[in-house]
Structure 1
């Protein structure tokens, strides 16, 4: 199973993101994000199983949590990754702390070992909202995304190493208090 480093929101500030999961899920084959059984998150790195060891993930986590602060991100638009299946995601406003965490993880583990979409220069910060939109639900999901207004602020209070599908937490590093 692949390994990942993710910034997770394990607190009530994540509720509006989960509400978006639910709004998009009516257009999915199955509720992809609820079925993942993992909180709203921003993935910083993904590695194939044989590219890194769990000890590499532990070392990256130790370096990345040096300041231990909660990462507060504001999401103000919904975008898509186009492909075989359209992925809908919440886009955060630019945030230096998030960029620094991403850079620190990749300073700890050679970026060449990372999935290309998560490497420095190619990574697009995002929190996924839906991955399994039915073809007949895509137009409605696109209208839902286009109608999104306002901003959602989420306090990401955990940096985690995990393997996935299914998600298995390897290590959680709690970050400061969320308020």
Structure 2
């Protein structure tokens, strides 16, 4: 079970990532779009096994989480365990925003996985959690067809899809 503080992408970028998800599915590659039909394209700022959405909302009260940030999605990456993602180019503005969010979460007592903390975080938009090993190269090639993307962050929420939690911030 995973909960995350998700940043949501503008309508055009969301449509483009959903189209990529469908193209991968058509190629026989499972995507985040088919996992349980609840995901929407996003960039996670923080994640943990459980995150109290009310504690996050309190910690970030008055802080415009992600809104108005523009990000470049320019490359494809893979995490151990067959996770495929689109990479967000790191900028000083994005890192400063990420650090400010984590300072507020820490002050609010919200516990986050170490690899999402400042200095360790790899900003990305997950495409698939379980690409079959023989399909990884074709999946990467398919993803590259959709890049580059310039995206604007339009909203944020704490999401825990396994527990039907989506708490807008």
Q: Distance in 2 between matches of 1:70 and 1:101?
A: 11
Regions of 4+ moved over 3 Å: 142-145, 147-150
Calculate the aligned-residue CA RMSD, in Å.
2.7
CA contact (8 A) 1:27 1:140 kept: no
- TM-score scaled by structure 2? 0.80
Aligned length: 165
Matched, 1:153 2:153: no
> Against the structure 1 CA distance between its residues 27 and 137, is the aligned structure 2 distance closer, same or farther, given a 3 Å change threshold?
farther
- Structure 2 residue aligned with 1:60: 59
Of 89, 92, 99 in structure 2, the residue corresponding to residue 93 of structure 1 is 89
| Correspondence 1:26-175 to 2 at 5 A | 26-28=27-29, 30-35=30-35, 36-49=37-50, 52-65=51-64, 69-83=67-81, 86-110=82-106, 113-145=111-143, 147-148=144-145, 150-165=147-162, 167-170=164-167, 172-173=168-169
- TM-score scaled by structure 1? 0.76
Unaligned runs of 5+ in 1: 174-179
Q: Distance in 1 between matches of 2:98 and 2:46?
A: 8
Q: Distance in 2 between matches of 1:81 and 1:69?
A: 27
Unaligned runs of 5+ in 2: none
Q: Distance in 2 between matches of 1:142 and 1:21?
A: 12
